[in-house]
Amino acid sequence: MNVYIESGTYMGDSLKTTKHIIKYSIEKEYKLYLYCKNKFIEDKNIKIIHGDSKEVLNDLLHIINEPVYIFLDASTQATSMLIDEIELIKKIRTKYSDFITFHESNIGKIDNNGNIITIEYIHNILQPTYKMVKNGEFLLIQKPGSDTSEHTSSSSSDSF
């Protein structure tokens, strides 16, 4: 996969570590957006976008015509956009085998509908299109049969 999309830029640390060619990162907090926009001003392959992750993600997923790696990280200490983002991806990206990941710290947070995010809640939303695998502190979402060898280590992964 050549394209990386991240919701929740924060300080931009994950953008430095990913090896993807084209990188989009969405940040809602204006001060963090400006900080990262200036931090990566010289890197033409990194695009920092200010806005609501669900709206910007919707726009990006409609124009990118290849599989993408998506890191869902738009959250606060108490709330998370995770459920909205997963539902959006599932609805829009029917013909692509995107690879989606998020940190386990989203579990226990509140979604936009006031529901507590649990593994079971996410699992029910994903069925039957996607499966979920735990790899360390991250949960990985992919369509069954997708190659995950570059994203997981088989010794530490658990399927749901």
- In this structure, are residues 55 and 92 in contact, taking their beta carbons and an 8 Å threshold? no
Alpha helices by DSSP H, listed for 47-154, are 53-63, 82-92, 119-126
CA gap 68, 38 in Å, rounded? 25
> What residue ranges do the domains of the chain occupy?
3-159
CATH number 3.10.350.10 is the correct assignment for the domain at 3-159: no
pLDDT score recorded for residue 55: 95
H/E run at residue 152: none
Tens digit of pLDDT at every position of the chain (160 positions): 899 999 999 999 899 888 889 999 999 999 999 999 999 999 999 999 999 999 999 999 999 999 999 999 988 888 999 999 999 999 999 888 899 999 999 999 999 999 999 999 999 999 888 999 999 999 999 988 766 555 544 445 566 5
Determine the 3-state secondary structure of 72 from DSSP: strand
